[in-house]
Amino acid sequence: MAASGFTDLREKLRSMTPHGDDHRKPQRGGALKRRYHDSEEDLSDPEERRETEARRVKSSIEQLSIFSPEECALIEAKIDEVVSSGEKGLYREHTVDRAPLRNKYFFGEGYTYGSQLEKRGPGQERLYSKGEVDEIPDWVHELIIKKLVASGVIPADFVNSAVINDYQPGGCIVSHVDPIHIFERPIVSVSFFSDSALCFGCKFQFKPIRVSEPVLFLPVKRGSVTVLSGYAADEITHCIRPQDIKARRAVIILRKTRPDAPRLETNPRSNAAVPFSLGRPQILKPKRSHRKADPDAAHRPRILEMDKEENRRSVILPRWRQRSSSSSENLRRRSHESAAGYSGPDDSMDSPRRVKMRRH
């Protein structure tokens, strides 16, 4: 390079560029990309974009430690009472919503979501008609809401919807944004029973279930209060991953519904049209018994649906199916062996059973 008169490779490159310093101008529609790269915040690198988004999420989250261990124990006993009432079928139909390793209990206001939607997609959620779910229990007002109001977390008369999510080890809730057309902000949640984590920006895949790395991993301690607003509530999804539920965990979510939130139309022919003020509704049977969790479920992925023949064969069948299938298989095998070895009335005299051959 010295022989050619250049002491710096950059000088040689500039001399070889037709437009000198204009060589950095993009071609074929690359102007937007370059301007984006040269902006105040360089977000062209995926890792930098991720870090920037994580900062935005974290800046719109507030976490407080308000409830003492003694207060947590008292509230957890009340949650156990809710679970017991749900298993006995003492709540209205739409108060309890069961899923594998996670049960939901709606109070005050309930809404359709997920597979319950007639049309899938954001914005399709609907509130149930008034009276379709049970009222918020008094202990939620006395033990939780009043303390949050006194601490300045929420204004008085803010909460009209309380949801209890009860997770077993390995339970999860997929990435979602709390419906903006249903709920006002902020979204307040209080955690109980064990420590866990709330993850933002994850993507779920199934068959078997897998979860991508989160944009932000937020530890959630027992008794802590998490307040979501702004970017964290509206611009990015949040979820609970299976691997973050290592022990039973419950969360109470406190929200306020928007006055213009859409509702399902009441069918006059259904039982929902009967005013609940006339008396306690008919006791409902639980949808299914509370599922017991495998203590090791949090440390391995859950298989929700089998898409390979070898996986289908490896599924553990219920005991009654194992007995019926094994007994029928043994009977079929014994019948086949006896039929093959049967030659006359004097053969196999020491066998406890005989299988006679009949011609059809």
CA dist 102 and 39 (Å) reads 45
Contacts of 171 (CB under 8 A, 6+ apart): 100, 101, 102, 240, 242, 245, 249, 293
Inter-residue contact 216 to 54 (CB < 8 Å): yes
CA dist 252 and 275 (Å) reads 28
CA dist 224 and 68 (Å) reads 9
At position 128, the amino acid (one-letter code) is: Y
Inter-residue contact 169 to 295 (CB < 8 Å): yes
Catalytic residue among 91, 111, 128, 167: 111
Q: How far is CA 164 from CA 75, 215, 245, 254, 338, in A?
A: 12, 26, 16, 9, 60
Positive or negative: CA dihedral 312, 318, 321, 322:
positive
Q: How far is CA 241 from CA 62, 248, 286, 338, in A?
A: 21, 13, 26, 54
CB atoms under 10 Å from CB of 143, counted, come to 17
Residue with structure tokens 């709920």? Answer: 183
331 φ/ψ angles, rounded to the nearest 5 degrees:
-60, -40
CA dist 236 and 60 (Å) reads 11
SS3 assignment for 184-210? CCCEEEEEECCCEEEEECCCEECCCCE
Residue 111 bears catalytic tag: yes
CA dist 132 and 191 (Å) reads 26
Pairing of strands 249-255, 187-192: antiparallel
CA dist 310 and 314 (Å) reads 6
Which residues participate in catalysis according to the annotation? 111
